[in-house]
Amino acid sequence: MQRLLAAIFVYATLVWQPLVAQTGKGRCTPPAGVPVGTGIYDLSVDAKVEALLRKMTLEEKVGQLAQYSAGQPTGPGTGRTDYEDMIAKGQIGALLNIATAKDTNALQRIAVEKSRLHVPIVFGLDVVNGFRTEFPIPLGLASTWDTSLVEQVARAAAREASASGIRWTFAPMVDIARDARWGRMAEGAGEDPFLGSEMAAAYVRGYQGSRLDGSDSIAACAKHFVGYGAAEGGRDYNTTEISEHTLRQYYLPPFHAAVNAGAATIMSAFNVINGVPASANPFTLQQVLRKEWGFRGVVDSDWEAVGELIPHGIANDGPTAVRKGFLAGVDMDMTSSLYHDHLAQLVRSGQIPQERLDESVRRVLRLKFALGLFDRPYTDETREAAAMLRPETISLARTAAERSLVLLKNSPGANNAPILPLSTDVHDIALIGPLADDPPNMELLAKLGRNEDLISFRAALSKHVGEQHLFHVKGTGITGGSEEDLAAAVATAGKADVVMLALGEDTGMSGEAASRSKLGLPGRQQELLEKVVATGKPVVLILFSGRPLTLPWAFEHVPSVMAAWFPGIQSGPALVRTLFGESNPSGRLVVSWPRSVGQEPLYYNALSTGRPVDNADPTKSSSDDKYLSRYIDEQNSPQFPFGYGLSYSSLRYGATELSRVQLKASSLNAMLNARSVRETALTASAEVTNTGSRAAEEVVQLYVRLQGTSVAQPVRALKGFRRIALAPGETKKVAFDLGPDAFAMWNDRNLFAAEPARVSIWISPDSAHGTVGAVEIVP
Ligand code: BGC
């Protein structure tokens, strides 16, 4: 008997538990709520799907899983080009990169009229931060911390794109980005899983609208599943090593939030995760996405990702790449053409079960039914033009741009007052820099945007102050630049009351395949900056970039600095209104701003080491200071922390007050198991006062730290935020009702649960300040 018990014990501890840990089975799921009855979860379309499936030949089924690019390529090659013939034969299920009503309708006509079963094509495109109307890049949109605004932006983009026949966007990109060297940081919501999840859900709601079959709704695609942002060294497409704990706690939540918001599709990523490419990864694609989350939509590969299984080294030929990608869970093959070439034969030979093929085809057909494409395959060409650039969309673009601006520094200048907002005494302004009047470099991803639609900083400033009061020179190119131009810039600065410097990156320096090893100002811009500052004139530096730039000199010597990201079509008006104080800056950083590249990856929600350091002075070398986790030549702290941003007002935060001093892990877990995450476990509140003389919008943030847990937890983790408006002198009590999930974590068995812990809670203006409140979680 004793032996039997011992054997059971050994099995339970050595075999069963690791299995649980590895698969995540049997764990408490974090808040879930896959929407039933809507979009791809509308079971009423299933009968139609089955009826159609029964009529399909093997080749026609495979056709539904093949996707090609028929326009401007967004990756290497296009797969094939004989699309018209293929569509007529039912060999194409989806196309991407076509973007006008005329073109989508023409190809759709072939599918609907000439193919045997008349199955419509779904047209996809990267409708990211706009279609024709260019909004700020996603990093800028996230910096608004305004989910309702982001939802409206996505809705507006969907309205425009759908008018051209695009019913599927490859967005939002919800990859967590902790390394500014990675150019695609520009395309996401930054480094935090909580903010990232809120943004992910907002985009999905906006793109998909209240009904996926609404004629102005487009299917969302949360990408890139998963871990793509953790690329080694920030080199795009590179390898990632992410423990299951880290994957679950940081990288997966935004995808889960997108799925819970009803996202119809997911895109599998390019990167290898722990040795297995994300596009052939059964753990993430089957176990997590399908089994744990109940995702019913289509998994699309990223561009050529199935073919890339060969260079990754897990397949030596096309058929093996198809077998591995498909069986792992990739339903649709974007551009590699390998499903087209080999899938039917793999099914015929029994290497891929017929039932697995049918399941993937069902998902694609379900998407098309859910979008209403069988009833309305065409878009109305006559409504296309009127759908673009509507006045309310342009005004939304201006609001979004204003709220995305992050005021990084605004120190008193020579007359003891900050330069910003600009006083009415300012008559003559020198506008210097390559990005002051550069429409093509104000946006990154909205492919249909046109330069003539965009109002540049120069144009808006000139309108505001009058041509005669604006002296504009470039000073240098973004890269390159001559001595004469630098000298002209210095001379121009000398003539003005204030200098505006518009510096930064061009849009080709961030986004896909745009990793950088240096994060300073490109070309001769740093030289220009130093020469202009040396004139002694008050200088405002406006940075345009897809990532934070390491500019220690500027942050020391330039009194006012604003991060503008790439603000889009309303760049000029948004900047002018903000610089002149008609709009009070309210953007907050969604990435930790590094002092130097060597600090990367840099993120606020890091673990403490056993030898933590709080901003130790790198020049000190006493033994107390030496054996710490730090650089000997750089501070550990960022230049500006996550959540940071100034306004023209000053804000005061009162003490963080908590409704309870003790919580019970057992009660929290009971709430989690009952999935009653809306239930309040604890209310935290603080008074926030606008002590300045201007109306302000403040992003009030709430952070939690858990100590004494089975797995080390971050020094702070965002668990709530709220944007509030405060009149001058006004005080508001801001209360956060925290659910059980705010106190739960992925534990040492990869279960999402609460544990006994010491809890610190901050209500604060950013991730580095605020007063702390304490609560204890007892068993
Ligand atoms: C990118 C995806 C994009 C796709 C289609 C790929 O290269 O990684 O984010 O959606 O192209 O344009």
> From atom 12 of ligand 1, which residue's Cα is the shortest distance away?
74
On whether the CB atoms of residues 293 and 68 are closer than 8 A, the answer is no
Conformation bin of residue 315: beta by default, left when phi > 0, alpha when psi is -120 to 50: beta
pLDDT digits (tens, 9 = 90+) for 604-619: 999 999 999 865 455 5
Q: Give the ligand 1 atom nearest the CA of 170.
A: 10
* Ligand 1 midpoint to CA 299 (Å): 14
The stretch 478-494 carries a mean pLDDT of 97
The tokens describing 243, both together, are: 């423990």
Residue 64, Cβ neighbours under 10 Å: how many?
Answer: 32
* Ligand 1 midpoint to CA 168 (Å): 13
> From atom 4 of ligand 1, which residue's Cα is the shortest distance away?
303
Residue to mutate (ligand 1; options 95, 98, 122, 170; most atoms within 8 A of CB): 170
In the chain, pLDDT over 70 holds for what percent of residues? 93
> From atom 8 of ligand 1, which residue's Cα is the shortest distance away?
302
On whether the CB atoms of residues 330 and 306 are closer than 8 A, the answer is yes
User: Which of 583, 596, 376 minimizes the C-alpha distance to 464?
Assistant: 583
* DSSP annotation string for 519-532: -S--TTHHHHHHHH
Q: Which residue has the tokens 């050595």?
A: 14
Q: Give the ligand 1 atom nearest the CA of 173.
A: 9
Alpha carbon distance, N-terminus to C-terminus of the chain: 33
> From atom 2 of ligand 1, which residue's Cα is the shortest distance away?
302
Enclosing H/E stretch for 724: strand 717-726
| CA quadruple 32, 35, 39, 41: dihedral, nearest 10 | 90
550 pLDDT more than 60: yes
User: Which of 28, 6, 9, 10 minimizes the C-alpha distance to 749?
Assistant: 28
Query: What's the rounded Cα separation, in Å, for the pair 634 and 743?
Result: 34
Residue 80 pLDDT: 74
* Ligand 1 midpoint to CA 495 (Å): 47
Residue 618 pLDDT: 56
> From atom 6 of ligand 1, which residue's Cα is the shortest distance away?
303
* Ligand 1 midpoint to CA 75 (Å): 7
The stretch 52-71 carries a mean pLDDT of 96
Query: What's the rounded Cα separation, in Å, for the pair 5 and 202?
Result: 52
Q: Is beta strand 429-432 parallel, antiparallel or unpaired with respect to 406-410? A: unpaired
Please count the helices (runs of H) and the strands (runs of E) in the chain: 25, 27
Q: Which of 302, 437, 438, 506 is catalytic?
A: 302
* Ligand 1 midpoint to CA 65 (Å): 17
pLDDT digits (tens, 9 = 90+) for 642-691: 999 999 999 999 999 999 999 999 999 999 998 755 789 999 999 999 99
Query: What's the rounded Cα separation, in Å, for the pair 674 and 697?
Result: 37
Residue to mutate (ligand 1; options 67, 303, 335; most atoms within 8 A of CB): 303
Query: What's the rounded Cα separation, in Å, for the pair 624 and 629?
Result: 12
Q: Phi and psi of 577, rounded to 5°?
A: -60, -35
Q: Give the ligand 1 atom nearest the CA of 171.
A: 10
Residue 677 pLDDT: 57
In three-state form (DSSP H/G/I as H, E/B as E, the rest C), the secondary structure along 71-137 is CCCCCCCCCCCCHHHHHHCCCCCEEECCCCHHHHHHHHHHHHHHCCCCCCCEEEECCCCCCCCCCCC
User: Which of 273, 279, 271 minimizes the C-alpha distance to 237?
Assistant: 271
Query: What's the rounded Cα separation, in Å, for the pair 583 and 112?
Result: 51
Neighbour-count burial of 295, counting CB atoms closer than 10 A to its CB (0-12 exposed, 13-18 middle, 19+ buried):
buried
Residue to mutate (ligand 1; options 74, 122, 137, 335; most atoms within 8 A of CB): 74
Mean pLDDT, rounded, of the chain: 93
* Ligand 1 midpoint to CA 185 (Å): 14
* Ligand 1 midpoint to CA 172 (Å): 11
* Ligand 1 midpoint to CA 335 (Å): 11
The stretch 285-302 carries a mean pLDDT of 97
* DSSP annotation string for 651-674: EEE---EES-SEEEHHHHHHHHHT
* Contacts with 701 (C-beta within 8 Å, 6 or more apart), sequence order: 588, 643, 718, 720, 721, 762, 763, 764, 765, 766, 767, 770
* Ligand 1 midpoint to CA 445 (Å): 11
* Number of Cα atoms under 13 Å in the Cβ half of residue 251: 25
pLDDT digits (tens, 9 = 90+) for 256-284: 999 999 999 999 999 999 999 999 999 99
> From atom 10 of ligand 1, which residue's Cα is the shortest distance away?
170
| CA quadruple 322, 327, 328, 334: dihedral, nearest 10 | 40
Active site residue 302: yes
On whether the CB atoms of residues 302 and 265 are closer than 8 A, the answer is no
The tokens describing 523, both together, are: 């070309």
pLDDT digits (tens, 9 = 90+) for 325-356: 999 999 999 999 999 999 999 999 999 999 99
Q: Which residue has the tokens 């500014």?
A: 180
Query: What's the rounded Cα separation, in Å, for the pair 106 and 101?
Result: 8
* Contacts with 542 (C-beta within 8 Å, 6 or more apart), sequence order: 433, 435, 457, 500, 501, 502, 503, 561, 562, 564, 575
Q: Give the ligand 1 atom nearest the CA of 74.
A: 12
pLDDT digits (tens, 9 = 90+) for 186-225: 999 999 999 999 999 999 999 999 999 999 999 999 999 9
Q: Which residues of 240-250 are buried (b: 16+ CB within 10 A; e: fewer)?
A: bebebbbbbbb
pLDDT digits (tens, 9 = 90+) for 714-772: 999 999 999 999 999 999 999 999 999 999 999 999 999 999 999 999 999 999 999 99
On whether the CB atoms of residues 70 and 96 are closer than 8 A, the answer is yes
Cis preceding linkage at 342, omega within 30: no
Cis preceding linkage at 714, omega within 30: no
User: CB within 6 Å of ligand 1 — which residues?
Assistant: 74-75, 96, 126, 170, 223, 302-303, 512
Q: Give the ligand 1 atom nearest the CA of 187.
A: 9
On whether the CB atoms of residues 612 and 566 are closer than 8 A, the answer is no
The stretch 423-434 carries a mean pLDDT of 93
In three-state form (DSSP H/G/I as H, E/B as E, the rest C), the secondary structure along 225-260 is ECCHHHCHHHCCCCCECCCHHHHHHHHCHHHHHHHH
* Ligand 1 midpoint to CA 332 (Å): 14
The tokens describing 424, both together, are: 């009415």
The stretch 119-135 carries a mean pLDDT of 97
The stretch 379-393 carries a mean pLDDT of 97
* Contacts with 397 (C-beta within 8 Å, 6 or more apart), sequence order: 130, 133, 134, 135, 153, 568, 569, 570
Residue 417 pLDDT: 87
